[in-house]
Amino acid sequence: MKKLLLLLLFSFSLSAAPLGETLFNGNCVTCHEMHTTNSAPSIKEVKMRYHKAFDSKEKFVTFMVEWITKPDAKTALMPEAIKKHGLMPLLGYDKESLTEIATFLYEHPF
């Protein structure tokens, strides 16, 4: 009975996660860990850079979605990361998913 209760609680906690968080954890965290730079800058570092560049959630989300849709070294906010890790590859995610992820990143306290 205890195992069933734990399973139900775990399932509920998974379903309670915002879509953007679920998408981030299922895709982005492969390269962008929360606090550690490995194959790409940490997502905390990315978020800080974007927050400095954009004064609103709308601008933050719009730029992030557009840039990830078509990464370009000329418009990158983190050219030093490109020198260290290379340009982010073209991933082919749809804009709706990227909007959910970018919104989660903007709103999530790291």
List pLDDT tens digits, range 10-25: 555 555 689 999 999 9
The secondary structure of 14-49 as a DSSP string is HHHS-HHHHHHHHHGGGTS-SS--SSS--HHHHHHH
Q: Tell me, yes or no, whether 9 lies in a domain.
A: no
Q: Tell me the C-alpha distance between 41 and 46, whole Å.
A: 7
Nearest to 104 by CA among 33, 19, 26, 34: 19
CB atoms within 10 A of CB 20: 20
Residue 56 has pLDDT above 90, yes or no: yes
Does a structural domain hold residue 8? no
Residue 14 lies in a domain: no
Q: Show the domain range for 70.
A: 19-107
pLDDT at 17 (0 to 100): 84
Does 92 map to a domain? yes
pLDDT mean across residues, the chain: 89
**Mean pLDDT value across residues 26-52:** 95
CATH code of residue 99: 1.10.760.10
> What's the domain count of the chain?
1
The 10s digit of each residue's pLDDT in 66-101 is 999 999 999 999 999 999 999 999 999 999 999 999
